[in-house]
Amino acid sequence: MSQNLAFADYAVFIIYFLVVSIYGYTIYRKREKNEHDAKAYFLAEGTLTWWAIGASLIASNISAEQFIGMSGEGFFLGIAVAAYEWLAAVALIIVAVWFIPVYLKNKIYTMPQFLKTRYNESTALIMAVFWLFLYVFVNLTSILYLGAVAINGLAGGEYLHAIMIGLAVFALIISLGGMKVVAYTDVIQVAVLIIGGLVTTYIALTVVAEHFGFGKDALAGFSLLMEKAPEHFKMIIDRPTASSSQLEIDKYLTFPGLMSYLAGIWIINLNYWGCNQYITQRALGADLQTARNGILFAGFLKLLMPLIVMLPGIAAYVLYQNGGLPQLIGGKDGAYSAMLTFLPTGLKGLSVAALTAAIVASLAGKVNSISTIYTLDVHKKYIQKSASDRHQVNIGRYAVFAAMLLAVLFTWNDVLGIGGVGGFTYIQKYTGFISPGVFAMFFLGMFWKRTTGTAAIVGVIAGFLLSVLFNEFAPALFGNETLLYTAWPNGKGGFEIPFHICMGLSFVFTMLLMIAISFAGPKVNPKAFELDKTMFRLKPQTTVLIVITLLIIAALYAKFW
Higher pLDDT, 36 or 419: 419
Residue 418 is predicted with a pLDDT of: 67
Q: Span 394-413, mean pLDDT? A: 88
**CATH topology classification for 7-28+49-97+134-234+298-414+534-560:** Sodium/glucose cotransporter (1.20.1730)
For 256, other C-beta atoms within 10 Å of its C-beta total 27
Reported confidence tier of residue 54, pLDDT bands at 50, 70, 90? confident
Paired with 495 in beta bridges are 489
**Distance between CA atoms of residues 346 and 393, nearest Å:** 40
pLDDT at residue 345, as a whole number: 79
pTM of the model: 0.84
CB 142 within 8 A of CB 424: no
- The rounded distance, in Å, linking the Cα atoms of 93 and 527 is 27
What would the mean pLDDT of 65-75 be, rounded to a whole number? 80
pLDDT score recorded for residue 234? 92
Share of the chain above pLDDT 70, in %: 90
Return the number of other C-beta atoms located less than 10 Å from residue 266's C-beta: 20
Higher pLDDT, 263 or 408: 408
Per-residue model confidence (pLDDT) at position 2: 43
pLDDT beyond 60 at 35: no
Yes or no: say if 514 and 456 are a contact pair by the CB < 8 Å rule.
Answer: yes
Condensed to tens digits (0 to 9), the pLDDT of residues 344-386 reads 877 777 777 777 777 887 788 788 888 888 888 888 888 888 8
Lowest mean pLDDT among 84-88, 212-216, 262-266, 477-481: 262-266
Cα-based angle 418, 424, 425 (whole degrees, multiple of 5): 80
The yes-or-no verdict on residue 36 having pLDDT over 60 is: no
pLDDT at 33 over 60: no
The candidate with the shortest Cα–Cα distance to 248, out of 86, 80, 84, 429, is 80
The separation between CA 74 and the C-alpha centre of its own chain, rounded to angstroms, equals 16
Amino acid at 89: A
Confidence class for position 1, pLDDT limits 50, 70, 90: very low
Quote the DSSP letter at residue 384.
Answer: -
Q: Does the pLDDT of residue 3 top 60, yes or no?
A: no
- Rounded-to-integer distance, Cα 432 and Cα 500, Å: 8
Q: What is the model's pLDDT at position 249?
A: 92
Residue percentage of the chain with pLDDT more than 90: 32
Predicted local confidence at residue 61, as pLDDT = 77
Q: How is the chain split into domains, by residue range?
A: 7-28+49-97+134-234+298-414+534-560
pLDDT in tens, 290-316: 999 999 999 999 998 888 889 999 999
In 373-498, alpha helices (H): 389-411, 418-421, 423-431, 435-447, 453-468, 474-478
- Reading phi first (left if > 0) and then psi (alpha if -120 to 50, else beta), residue 47 is in alpha
pLDDT value at residue 505:
95
Choice between 524 and 60, residue whose per-residue pLDDT is larger: 524
Range in 188-192, 462-466, 490-494 the model is least confident about: 188-192
Q: To the nearest whole number, what is the mean pLDDT of the chain?
A: 84
Tens of pLDDT, residue by residue over 245-260, are 998 998 899 889 888 8
